[in-house]
Amino acid sequence: MRFATRTFLLSFVPISLLLLGCFWAVQILVQRAVRDQLQASLRQTHESIARMQLKNEAKDGRFLRILGENATLKAGLQLLLAAHNSRDARITVEDQLREMSEQLDFDLLMISDPAGNPLAGVFRVADQLAAIDFPRIHPPLRGLLTLGRSAYQIASTSIDQGEENLGTLSVGERLDFSGFSTPVALEHNGEPVESTLPGISLAEVQAGLKGCGKTAECEVPLRGDTYLSASMKSLSFGDGYSIRTFQNLDAADRPVRNILRTVFLLAGVGALLAAVILSALSSRSIVEPIRAVVERLRESEKTGVLPEFRALATSIQEIGELTESFNHAGAAIREGRRTLQHAYVEFVGSLASALDARDPYTAGHSRRVSDYSLAIGRQLSLTSEQLDELRIGALLHDIGKIGIPDKILQKVDALTKEEFALLRQHPTIGRRILEGVKGFHPYLPVVELHHENWNGKGYPLGLEEDTTPLQARIVKLADAYDAMTSDRPYRPGMSDAEAVRRLEEASGTEFDPVIVKAFVATGVHAEQEPDELRSLRTLGAAVESDSPQTLTAKELPK
């Protein structure tokens, strides 16, 4: 054992240091690889956008040349030149440009004289076309123009009359950043004027880009993350405008770093196991037993249950003791889980029995409702998990009556309006009792909503149709059936046939029609002879209807 301990220390420490060094080196290599990949991706994006822009410009150029031959536009330009850009002539031309903009869906139209001086123009503001204030704005013939909070991409064509050049027609469309696959920022003379970086203000972008200077590609710190930014030099917008794209480096390599961290953490655990193996090299038989143990433990990681190891053929005492200890621990945990589950079920049953015991006429009510509910659930092909929730929820459905005074629950005479209002609070009281315990959360809908009606006239929330959970709708019907067929101090229980008839009458108003049909199809209500059914219900059922004296088709449990 001393030799094994020394070997363990001499092997584990170097392996740990080696793993730490490998982790640091691999992380650096991964970050560089991610950065190179993002840079290549940005360049490819720039080239793709540039090619698309060239195609669009070629197509727009052909279209603009056709517009330049428009006779009405030529006449308006000649009028404007002849009138020396008078106000009336400019308004006439602006009206022509508005009409063209509406027809051709341009956001900006402008004409200039042969010297390039703008004469008249309109641009879209919200849904209106407004005249361009040229004394304050001098639009370019090509490139970008910023008006208000919008940027317009400008293209121009000459307007000729024979051999004479009359001027220039310029059209523009709002620059649409949605076509970019990455966040971008529009720059003017090196200063960002618009940005699509989500959740990051323009001021933060400006501050982050100061460290880039005139560098085309740089790393920009923004909101705790590092972004790779590149200016689109392959696409010119003129007049000092350019577009800069962004890629989040940290977001790109964070998943890889998390995977690496997990891998090396697991590798550290593996190093510990390797050190144990190396410490017992004197016995080659240790390899296979350890491998078997590790494989079973990996299987248990998926199932969450400690496995039971078979007897391993090994002469190493420690290995035998290890597997035996695991077997004992696994058996103890499995037995503890079974005991806990059994105690949990018994506790739920005890709660239901304690509630029923408050009144001799409610004895067995909760368990019968649970049995009827399970039969309906199986008829509807519910899953085992749904059936389990239904079974326990039905047992607990009346738990809120713990908070209702006995003088109301056991009252034979008619309840007053105030007493009945207090009785109707038991679903809400039941939810409050159980919601503080995490293990009871799946059953809260049944406890709170088993008095909701299909037509929305139930309580406490007035839910309608299938907005009430399925299990609550099932328990409502089972609850009503047991209430009708059980003896009460003021009247005997109904026959099965009469109870089923009344359920069918209330189908579509108080009860889900599908559940009514499923209940009738189960046949559980007719499995015993009337006398035997009566003996099961001798003590009656809990007060479940709107009126404790009568239970007609119109007065089933609300």
pLDDT, tens only, 278-295 = 655 555 555 566 666 667
Q: Are 464 and 456 in contact (CB under 8 A)?
A: yes
Cα 107 from Cα 154, distance rounded (Å): 10
Q: Which amino acid is at 436?
A: G
Helix or strand holding residue 368 (H, E): helix 365-379
Residue 161, classed as helix, strand or coil, is strand
Question: In the structure, what pLDDT confidence band is assigned to residue 9 with cuts at 50, 70 and 90?
Answer: low
What is the model's pLDDT at position 558? 36
pTM: 0.41
Assign residue 469 a region: left if phi > 0, alpha if psi is -120 to 50, beta otherwise? beta
Cα 527 from Cα 533, distance rounded (Å): 9
Cα 507 from Cα 514, distance rounded (Å): 9
Structure tokens given for 393:
């929820």
pLDDT digits (tens, 9 = 90+) for 477-516: 999 999 898 877 767 888 889 999 999 999 999 999 999 9
What is the model's pLDDT at position 538? 38
Residue with tokens 């050190």: 275
What is the model's pLDDT at position 470? 95
Residue with tokens 């037509």: 455
Query: What pairs with residue 219 in β-bridges?
Result: 228
Pairing type for strands 128-131 and 118-125 reads: antiparallel
Peptide bond into 492 cis (omega under 30): no
Structure tokens given for 34:
């991610």
Structure tokens given for 414:
């008619």
Residue with tokens 């108003």: 509
Terminal C-alpha separation, the chain: 75
CA atoms within 13 A on the CB side of 105: 0
Helix or strand holding residue 325 (H, E): helix 317-356
Backbone angles phi, psi at 220, to 5 degrees: -120, 125
What is the model's pLDDT at position 534? 42
Top-confidence residue, 538 or 385: 385
pLDDT digits (tens, 9 = 90+) for 68-124: 778 877 887 787 888 777 888 888 888 888 888 777 778 888 888 888 788 888 888
pLDDT at 130 over 90: no
Assign residue 556 a region: left if phi > 0, alpha if psi is -120 to 50, beta otherwise? beta
Question: In the structure, what pLDDT confidence band is assigned to residue 13 with cuts at 50, 70 and 90?
Answer: low
What is the model's pLDDT at position 375? 93
Structure tokens given for 279:
């410490």
Residue 240, classed as helix, strand or coil, is coil
